[in-house]
Every structure is written in C-alpha cells, then in structure tokens.
Structure 1
C-alpha cells in the first residue's frame, strides 16, 4: 500500500443531520494500491485525521409540542433516582451552536469551526514526544494555540492578527468567524416536581489548545489520560426561568471569562475505572513522596538523587500542569462583585466517583 496522508476536509453544514450525511455518504476516491517493501513500510508515519466545519450552525430540540400536537425533539437523561426513590429526569430542551450575535440562541447564523491550516484533529501521538515513554497516545484536540505574531487575542471579539495566541479568528463584516455562540436550556424533574429551566450561554467562545489524551497503564491495567480545557468567552451567563419562559430570575453574568483547566499529566495521569458496584471512578493519584535521603536537606540537586530531584522539579515548575481561572467582572442581577482570579492551582490529588442513591 502506498504511503498516504489524510488531509483535513472542510464540511459545509447547516445542521447535524447534514453533517452525518457528509460523514456517511460516499466520497469519490482515486487511488492505486501498490505493495511496499518492509523498508518502505518502516518509513511511514500516520498523520491522523483533521476536520473542519464551515458555515455550520446547530440547534437541537424543544420540549414544546409542534402544530400537530406531537412532542418536540429533545435530549433526555433518565434512569436516575433521588435519595427518596423518586425518578429523576434531566431534559435538554435546547442546545445550539451559532455564529456571533445570536442573542442567546434566538438568531442563529453560520460559524466556522477550525480551519484547514489548524483543524480539529484525532491523532495517534508518539508518547516519547510528550513525556509518556513507549506508549501510543490517542489524542482528540481542538485547534492548537499559535505564536503571538500570527494569533488573535482570545477574548476580544474584534481582535486583529498579532494580538494574542488563539488561532480562532473573530467574526468581521465579511467573515463569519471561528468563535461560536454556545448555549443550552435544561430542566430537572424529581418525581412530579419539575424545576425551572436553567439557561447557560457563552458568547464567541474559544477553546483553542484544549485536548484529551488517552493511553493504557500496564501496572494498573486501566485507561489513563491527560485532559486540558482552555475556555475563553467575553460573556458567560447563567439564569433560571419558568418553564413557559414568562419570568426569569436574576442573571449571573461573568465577563471576560478565562479558564485553563489541567487534569492529569504525564507525571501524574488521571485514571478512569468502574468499581465493583458499577460506579464510575475518575482518580488523580497523590504524587509520590520522596524517600528519606532522596532530596538533600538544602533542597539542591547536588545533594539529592538527580533523577528524583529532576522529577519533582519538572512536576512543580511546569506551567502546563497548573490551572488558572480569571473573571473580569462577576455580577448577579444588579449586584456587582468585581473581578476574581485563581492562579497556578496544582491538582495534587483528585477522586471523583458516582454513587447509587437508590434506597
């Protein structure tokens, strides 16, 4: 088989259904299959798959009946019970992805997600290049960050080139941009008690530099990983409204919202498991403590075990292992709480597990 590279393919879609048709439909391919020698095969490198969505918009569901009285199309999560044994129903009434200026999902317009020179990607990464020795790592990644001279400010919806490190470009008068408005409306019912609708909206959102990496751990015989989420939005809002939308509570408004969340890394990966009761477990194990004498009393490398000193130096000084949260301004209704920042947070141990609350 001849060496080939799968190039990113732009998909033009206005709905998820159209996207599915593009993905599943036949594509014309012109290729000639030829045998390769072992030497030729040893030089082949996989390039992964990149994908781009152009002129894309998506809106899903409503719990309201249509003109014929048929129930609307919704996304519903069931099979959950409260502590007193009542059925819990989580319904996503509306989920949308749109171009800028959607007015909280009311006016949908197209947006581009990624571009050919910096697409979304699914790839097999050589672990030796990212600090995971002798492993093949499966990576799902958003567009990568770029140099400041060619990037855009991650927050400013009218930023120009050279203003920041985000690759996704803002919308202009003649360009739909690569920063979508994203939002959802959801409702939680416990038995016959249905709550108000909860609305979450993010304007011109950017998640450049985010990725999920997965590989196998031979000792624990589990899937492990590394998760990095970058999320930037000039406005993130949350509020609750009555089911018919006639009245809404105070809106929680977070302006200039920037989150860089790191869970797991090559020195301390996150483990995914299912325990004996069938509950899901996410675990970032505690970082190992040095043995007596491994680190010198003065804390210097010269008086320490070099390998141990290098390990802890890499763990505590690598900025990629740390999480940051910045909020330009935080308001609830008419009350202004000012700005907030959490800087350099290092997750040294984390254990999340689901519980069966059925009596």
Structure 2
C-alpha cells in the first residue's frame, strides 16, 4: 500500500487563542479542570468552532483470528473469538453494556474471523480471510491483504461519517491479538521485546514464558522489520490492520477518535507512523495494565485519560471514558463565564 494514501492534515490552530480565552474566562481558577480543559481545546480545534458538539457518537469493534493462536500464545482457544462476536451481536458483552449506558451507537465488524456468521443485523462482513497465517513460520498476511484490510476499515468509517458521526471509538476482539500488539510495539518503538509482552487474557507464568519464546522466534524469522506497513503485514491481525485504516480514515475526515487500550493502541501506533499528525485527532482514553501499552503511549506522547487497571479490550476503556470526553464539550458550552455570572475574577 502506498503510505501516502491517507492524508491527515495538522490541526488548524486558528482558534487557539479564542478557545483559550473562552476556557480561561469560565468561573474557575486558571487550569483548574486539568485534562477537561485540554480536551475542550482539542475538540474545539478538531471541529473548528468555539461551540463544539458531538453528533451520533459511534463505536466500531473489529474482530479477527490469528494463525499463531494454535501454538498456545493465549490462555483462551480461538473459538472464543467467534463466540464473543455472537455475544456482541446479542448485546451481552462489556462493550455493549457501556455503549448502551452512554447512548452510543455500535457496529461489529468481521475483519477475519475463522467462522461463517452469515448475514446478521449489526454485523459488517468485511472478512479478508478466515484468520491470519502463523507469523512464527511466515508473514501473517500478504501486503495486498493488509492494504485491503486498511481500505475496508477506512470505507466503514467513511460510511459512519457520511451518516453524520463526528466522534468514533475503536475496539477489537481476537484471541491472541495481544501477541500481535506486542510485536508491533517492539518493532515500531525499539523497546525490548520482553517489556512489550504481558499476560494477555490471563496467561500463567509458564504460558508467559512460552509466549515470549514464540514471539522471539517470529522476530528472528522476519528479521526485525521497522517499516510500519511491513510490520503490520508480518505480525498484525486483520482486525488490527482494518482498525488502523479506519483510524486513519477517521482522522483524515476530521472527526474525534477515542482510542482504547493495548490492541487499539497498536493500530494507533501504526497510524501515527504513517501520518505524523494523526495523534492530534485522538483522545487516548485509558492506561491498560498490559506493560506494552505504557511504551505505546510514550511513543505517541499520549496522556491517557483514566487508569482503572483495565485489560479487557473491546473498546470498553474508551466507552467508560466517554462521559469525561463529553464533559469537556459541555464545560466549554455550558459553564458560565465570569462576565455572564457576575463573578469577580480577582
């Protein structure tokens, strides 16, 4: 794929001074609302207005299987991926609970699950293949498959934007995908591999050592790639590649992105390497307990919004953080100024 396919412009900062004055004139000490103020500024700049608003906020959850899972890199079996997709469609998963609570839309995407769902309400069939290949032995996907996944992700987001959405959250499901995220993080940040690897869905000590050994073998086979699209094709999942394309498409369209944890962070890391201004459109919603997430956040100069010791994925951290993001918009629009409230500022 041509790395210039996505053109993510730098934020237009024309309104910076006006937004800062509006924030500073609210009835509070300067800077007293911390990250709420930071988000208000960011959202105002993204939407190019002093009175931003959220329209049709929507979450997209991408699902895919990984060929390396059969080697025992996860504590769960591959079948859990399609079973959890069924759970999403039935409205019973964590992400369903939290989007429902916050009145958010949700779309589930089959990016490459090793299961035939057939036509289903609420499920977008964007399947590239029935899971990736085993990256310990060969590249997880071809360059063409990687490009197609990214293009399909961008198309899905373009449809949401065309329907009116201007804030999109990203989640995923794929047994074994914390291993892909660890490899991507290592390759794109040069952090030591072991520091990028965690227990995923709950590996014990023996399983963690096996995971480390297998991922080291995969790196030795691939020759330590550094180019973002090569790394993504070598080690990614279809859900991660599709999510990366969706994120880039959303940023290019000028909408606000809500980034979840470690797996979504690996897609965001790829996107940030392909588009230098990408992170300007992102709110990094939480700090996962997966050790590699800290490395990702540092690499993108990201300041996560909450730390609830989460490690579920699915977009749950982003959905839980959504009320705080909304609060930044409401603060900017509804909180009185010193002038309007008749309050002295000195």
TM-score scaled by length of structure 2 = 0.23
Structure with greater strand percent: 1
Which of 1 and 2 has greater Rg?
1
TM-score scaled by length of structure 1 = 0.23
Structure with greater helix percent: 2
Identify which of structures 1 and 2 has the higher relative contact order when contacts are C-alpha pairs closer than 8 Å and 6+ apart: 2
